[in-house]
Amino acid sequence: MGIASLRWFKAAPALFLLGMATASPAQAIEELRLRLPLLQENLTARVSELANPDALWAGTSDLAELNRATNGQYARSIQELLNAPLPLQNDADSAMAQQGELLLRRLIDVDPGNHQQLASEPVLAGLKAAQAQAQGGKVTLLALLQAIPGESVTIRLDRALPFLQRMKAQQLVVDQLIPSFAKAGTAAAAQLKPGKFPIKTEVVSLAIEGQAEPLEVTMVRPVGAPSLAPVVLSHGLWSSPSSFLGWAQHLASHGAPVFLPRHAGSDINQQAAMLSGQAAPPDPEEFLRRPREVKAVLDGLEAGSFPGAEGIAPRNVVFIGHSWGATTALQLAGARSRSTDLWKSCTDPDHPKRNISWVLQCSFLSAAIPDSLADPRITRVVAVSPPQGLVFAAGLADLKVPVLVVSGSRDVVVPPQPEALSPFGQYPKAGSQLVLVEGGTHFNLPAAADSNGGPLRALLLRWVQGQPIDASSGLADPAGLSMRLPPRQ
């Protein structure tokens, strides 16, 4: 049994235990079986032995014996995954929850004749019982196993291993290709340093037709007349504008007014409400709501009704998005969600292209429409770490404007091989560019307030200024991450 499998499974319940509904638990699970990779054997443990290290050292199960024989190596890893807090949700009807249940049932086997053990009612009853006893309401997988009815379950680490191997294979493709990609030069000092403009920041509320709550928008703008076109910047799932103020401050200091809408249906506040059980996961309709909110920002500028932005016309707008915000960027650039046979793979946990971002992308599909959402006021787009390979599988050729795609070479949430390198081959040939950031992850490319703007600051500024992005361009921070430019095929 590999330690890597255990580390992966520790993170997995965050996706697997979304969406359960109520009943009364009976006898709780006492025996836990772990199906070992490759050997196809079960390692047994008693749930009571996993309550603390002393109980396991004194136990009599297979795991207890292995724990003693390996000086605690395997048991520590298993205890760590079983005691990790789980984000929980009780909306059984959401598309995200259905994806989570699919993976849960794939990785946990119940005893013959007890197929209802993982049904919604007993599991939620167990969750409620566990939450009532948990400190701060944070429930662990161990607490859940102690609360739901049944005698035993089998955790299929043998099925987790193929998932891990698929992730490794996707990463290997990138690692092998990187040396063949042209390395971008160091950016000029003027592109890396703040510009000449003093900046000011305001948070305003913008009314949206047909939407009860106003849209909160953070505006970061140069003092005086802007010298660059407006920029709209969209955050990712369970994030907020504050995580991207470093980008906005850098661009504004060089003359671009930047507008950062807060997508309340999928921001960090929505996450907090979801994890506390007060809200469902983001509604699939958020997939269409986000583009409408961006268009509302542009409409406000067009009408001159955006407070503090008088005189800023929404022309030649550059749209920048991260993660889900990057998916929104592609929608507004003209990518279409046209139905494809690949969409059926949402029901296949073993599909070779499957990756973590599919949990989100599969949740989009019930709301996806084939219509183009391109906005003519947006003329250039930046998509940083975009989930796109599934939801736009048949519609990337419909992009209307140049797109700068940025992907981190070590991004495991939206991995570069299936979600950047492969989809980019479908882009129209003219104008678009893919940049691979060596050592970039899903979380180290954005930049918060009062930073230096992060590793992408010169690259983003160059794109906003309308300058070409190619192998001869100076893009990288010499103290930051290297950048590679794959050739167009």
**pTM summary value:** 0.78
Higher pLDDT, 293 or 94: 293
Domain membership flag for residue 271: yes
Residues 60 and 203 in one domain: no
- Residue 320 clears pLDDT 60, i.e. is over it: yes
Q: What is the pLDDT of residues 328-347, one digit of tens each?
A: 999 999 999 999 999 999 98
- Quickly state the pLDDT bin for 8 (edges 50, 70, 90): very low
Residues 244 and 133 in one domain: no
Q: Residues of the chain with pLDDT > 70: what percent?
A: 73
Higher pLDDT, 51 or 378: 378
Name residue, tokens 């802007």. 226
What is the per-residue pLDDT for 47? 74
> What does residue 6 show for φ and ψ, rounded to 5 degrees?
-70, -40
Residues 150 and 239 in one domain: no
Residues 151 and 205 in one domain: no
Contact (CB, 8 A) for 224 and 197:
yes
Q: What angle do CA 163, 164, 166 make, to 5 degrees?
A: 65
Structure tokens at 42: 């079960």
Q: Could you tell me the residue range of the domain that residue 212 belongs to?
A: 181-485
- Residue 33 clears pLDDT 70, i.e. is over it: yes
Number of domains comprising the chain: 2
Domain membership flag for residue 33: yes
What is the per-residue pLDDT for 96? 53
Domain membership flag for residue 169: no
Domain membership flag for residue 461: yes
Domain membership flag for residue 176: no
Question: What does the pLDDT average to over 152-161?
Answer: 69
Domain membership flag for residue 170: no
The lowest-confidence range among 134-148, 265-279, 301-315 is 134-148
Tell me whether residue 15 is exposed, middle or buried, using C-beta atoms within 10 angstroms of its C-beta: 0 to 12, 13 to 18, 19 or more. Answer: middle
- Quickly state the pLDDT bin for 126 (edges 50, 70, 90): low
Question: What does the pLDDT average to over 373-396?
Answer: 98
Name residues whose C-beta falls within 8 Å of residue 261's C-beta, 6 or more positions apart in sequence: 215, 216, 217, 232, 234, 241, 293, 294, 296, 297
Mean pLDDT of the chain: 82
What is the per-residue pLDDT for 65? 76
Higher pLDDT, 48 or 229: 229
Residues 81 and 219 in one domain: no
Domain membership flag for residue 252: yes
Domain membership flag for residue 175: no
- Residue 1 clears pLDDT 50, i.e. is over it: no
> What does residue 384 show for φ and ψ, rounded to 5 degrees?
-100, 120
DSSP-assigned letter for residue 303: H
- Residue 418 clears pLDDT 60, i.e. is over it: yes
- Quickly state the pLDDT bin for 280 (edges 50, 70, 90): confident
Residues 95 and 238 in one domain: no
Supply the CATH number for residue 470's domain: 3.40.50.1820
Domain end, chosen from 133, 164, 195, is at 164
